[in-house]
Amino acid sequence: MALNLEDIGHLLTARGVHQYGREAVSQLEHALQCARWAEKSGETAATVVAALLHDLGHLLAPGGDATERDDLHQYLAIPFLRGLLPDAVLEPIRLHVDAKRYLCTMEPGYWETLSPASQHSLALQGGPFTPKEAMQFAAQPFAQEAIRLRRYDDHAKVPGLATPPLAHYMALVVDLAREREGLLAAH
């Protein structure tokens, strides 16, 4: 079970034309805007790519917009990407929903900033963490990257916002995949 670089580009362009849940942007626009915020914020290539691919699970399992149940989309893409990209990409993706649960507990006023769709999905995803769960979350590797990714995610729902093209970010995906391959070959 693996995706190659071509598959990822295809998923984003072919399936990414669909609306992003109940938001006013497409899945591809959402992915590009999220990557753009990460890049503009000076994130590493791995975090920018995590931002680009954080909702790939929605594209792998289209059809449900998670209005009735938790779609667990943060986990869906992981096995498909594991052979291709490093943990620095995979872990922020895996943790980005928990990061919302964390921020709702730890940051007064955060919940109010969420879009109605995101507030709705929060309830399905288990609601805010307890303080103990929040501490356990924050202690995990890449939790801070996931929290920052979450903020880019929240701001990546702007209709008509100009972004670099997908090719700009796919070049980063290619670099990271090659780098990982090189490291594995060296061992």
Binding stretches for Fe ion (CB under 5 A)? 55, 153
Nearer of residues 43 and 153 to Fe ion, judged by Cβ: 153
Which tokens sit at 93? 């993706």
Question: Whole-number minimum distance, CB 3 to Fe ion, in Å?
Answer: 18
Question: Whole-number minimum distance, CB 99 to Fe ion, in Å?
Answer: 11
Question: Whole-number minimum distance, CB 59 to Fe ion, in Å?
Answer: 11
Q: What are phi and psi of 173, to 5 degrees?
A: -60, -45
C-beta nearest to Fe ion: residue: 153
Crossing angle for the helix pair 131-138 and 87-106, to the nearest 10 degrees: 150
Distances (CA, A) of 176 to 90, 147, 158: 12, 21, 28
Nearer of residues 80 and 180 to Fe ion, judged by Cβ: 80
Nearer of residues 20 and 129 to Fe ion, judged by Cβ: 20
The neighbour count for residue 70, using CB atoms within 10 Å, is 14
